[in-house]
Structure 1
Amino acid sequence: MTDLYYEDAGTGPALVFLHGWGTSGRVWHAQLPEFVRDHRVLTVDWRGCGRSVKPVHGNDTATVLADLLALFDELGVESPTLVGSSIGATFALELALRHPGRVARVVSVDGPLHWPSTGMPIDDLRRGLREDRAGTLASWVPHWYAPGTAPALIDWTVRQILDSGVYIDDHFAEAAAYDPRPALPSARVPVVFLHGERDTEIPLPVAEECASLTPGSKVVVIAGAGHMPHQERPAEFNAALRAVL
């Protein structure tokens, strides 16, 4: 485990929020006041991102999961609901698949990161990030959001990514081949796929197919939202998450 930044507040059932690639626990600020009232809420900047240490090595799913389990042990977090966004949803899902006894429930927010079915040009993206990181992010990140999103929110997202470590790009090597579908029928933890209607990064049919393979799961759609519904439509997102909980 490396040094991780986290925030831990409230009492009640444990609720752990996991951000997407390159951002930080700050993306959940619109959720904290609502859920800290009756949950123990933990936000984590996973390794390489936000205010956590940015190591050269260990930027892969297995190591991120080991970090999270070690953090849960250190803090005495038992059977949490994991709410993960984008690749954070992949981490939440994989933690539940590999360690079902450690997780009560998964809420996959615009995930999992099943890019092989979307045709995402991973090699072009990685090359762009190496050669012109700021320019590549400035052209890519706006597509994470539905049309009409405030430019300030998009700019803030780009800034968070630029402030994170460049070594997190290693996650794209795994993402290029990641396919959770073979493992989903054996899932032993309830999964809810909470998805933005207008997501073009991980389109809604990805979540619908994954839900069809996962016992007892369901899809909840946030109307009008893109890839970041917790930021784009926080009131609707919070209501939907509240209903799940």
Structure 2
Amino acid sequence: MPYATVNRIELFHEDHGSGQPLILLHGWGTNGQVWSAQAEEFAGAYRVVVPDWRGCGRSARPGGGDTIAGHAQDVLALAEALELDRPVLVGVSAGAAIVLEAARRAPSSVRGVVAVDGPGYWPAERKAELLVELRRMLRTDRAATVRQWVVDWYGPLADPALPEWTVQQILAASDSIDEILSDAVRHNPRETIGELQVPAFFVHGRLDAEIPAEVSETLAELAPRGEAHIMEESGHMPHVEQPAEFNALLHSILRRLAAPGAARDARQD
């Protein structure tokens, strides 16, 4: 089994193909399975690394470190352990916040970043209120709460089997991952996105009921080398809901990142 020891824990990861490396990072509670369509598609031309977060999938469950900063450190340490040369970091949902933070911390180690339906900013009071209620519900009846929540992750055109498939991944994860939900209350990427030195592509499903597409549009404007791409018929998980359309977009982004001068400005065609 492919494991790497990073930050004193064992991270499970799949590692396919060769060439320019990509790291595909899942979001809260799920695991690398959510990137299956991308791993298969891109392994023919890229080295595709798909890790499970600490506490998720087949990775170790240390019961701590489940913060945006902690997971960002894990991603960077994994890239170093696998000797990946300036990988492109792709993350969805909370994974998007993690890869943006990793790129901000270590721009010389990252070629570019693709943030998919990442979290952003809401009125702090409302955010805190919702989080307290969510965590209470997770403690009271985790399975029912997760099922009620996840159904809203997917748009109306998504395969109806996807919510339960996602729920099963989350219920199999450690409940220590809930720590990152508290971290999300304090997370406001507008405060640090201006420090990002690498090209950043913000992909968002227009029908995302969890995080409005305007979050990605705003962050793309604030990022020095940012660009937004809206998938009009997707919800919170566009890479799973519309894999062919998402893969075509990611192919285009990766070609641009490989072009001469790509590091100067993501907005330049």
Which TM-score band applies after superposition, normalised by the shorter structure?
A: over 0.9
Are 2:111 and 1:104 equivalent residues in the alignment?
yes
- Superposition pairs for residues 225-244 of structure 1, below 5 Å? 225-244=234-253
Are 2:152 and 1:146 equivalent residues in the alignment?
no
Deviations 1:139-173 (A, max 9, x none): 10010001242231110100000000000001011
Structure 1 vs Structure 2: percent identity of aligned residues?
A: 45
1:197 corresponds in structure 2 to: 206
2:54 corresponds in structure 1 to: 47
Distance in 2 (alpha carbons) for counterparts of 1:101 and 1:213: 20
Mapped contact 1:49–1:164 kept (Cα < 8 A): yes
- Larger RCO, structures 1/2 (Cα 8 Å, 6+ apart): 1
Alignment counterpart, residue 75 of structure 2, candidates 42, 64, 68 = 68
2:122 corresponds in structure 1 to: 116
TM-score by length of 1: 0.96
Mapped contact 2:193–2:219 kept (Cα < 8 A): yes
Distance in 1 (alpha carbons) for counterparts of 2:28 and 2:183: 13
Distance in 1 (alpha carbons) for counterparts of 2:117 and 2:33: 17
Are 2:194 and 1:185 equivalent residues in the alignment?
yes
Deviations 1:13-54 (A, max 9, x none): 011100010000000011112111110000000101111111
Query: Structure 1: 5+ residue runs without aligned partners?
Result: none
Are 2:201 and 1:156 equivalent residues in the alignment?
no
Are 2:17 and 1:10 equivalent residues in the alignment?
yes
1:170 corresponds in structure 2 to: 179
Mapped contact 1:81–1:104 kept (Cα < 8 A): yes
Q: RMSD of aligned C-alpha atoms?
A: 1.3
Distance in 2 (alpha carbons) for counterparts of 1:150 and 1:216: 34
Give the aligned length.
244
2:96 corresponds in structure 1 to: 89
Corresponding residue SS for 1:220? strand
Mapped contact 2:121–2:189 kept (Cα < 8 A): no
Mapped contact 1:19–1:88 kept (Cα < 8 A): yes
Corresponding residue SS for 1:4? strand
Distance in 1 (alpha carbons) for counterparts of 2:138 and 2:18: 41
Distance in 1 (alpha carbons) for counterparts of 2:99 and 2:178: 19
Mapped contact 1:144–1:227 kept (Cα < 8 A): yes
Distance in 2 (alpha carbons) for counterparts of 1:63 and 1:78: 21
Q: Does 156-165 or 64-73 show the bigger shift?
A: 64-73
Distance in 1 (alpha carbons) for counterparts of 2:174 and 2:114: 26
Q: Give the partner amino acid of 2:131.
A: I
Mapped contact 2:121–2:215 kept (Cα < 8 A): no
Alignment counterpart, residue 207 of structure 1, candidates 183, 202, 216 = 216
TM-score by length of 2: 0.88
Runs (4+) of structure 1 exceeding 6 A deviation are none
Distance in 1 (alpha carbons) for counterparts of 2:123 and 2:39: 33
Q: Give the partner amino acid of 1:67.
A: D
Corresponding residue SS for 1:55? coil
Shift of residue 117 of structure 1? 4.8
Mapped contact 1:50–1:164 kept (Cα < 8 A): yes
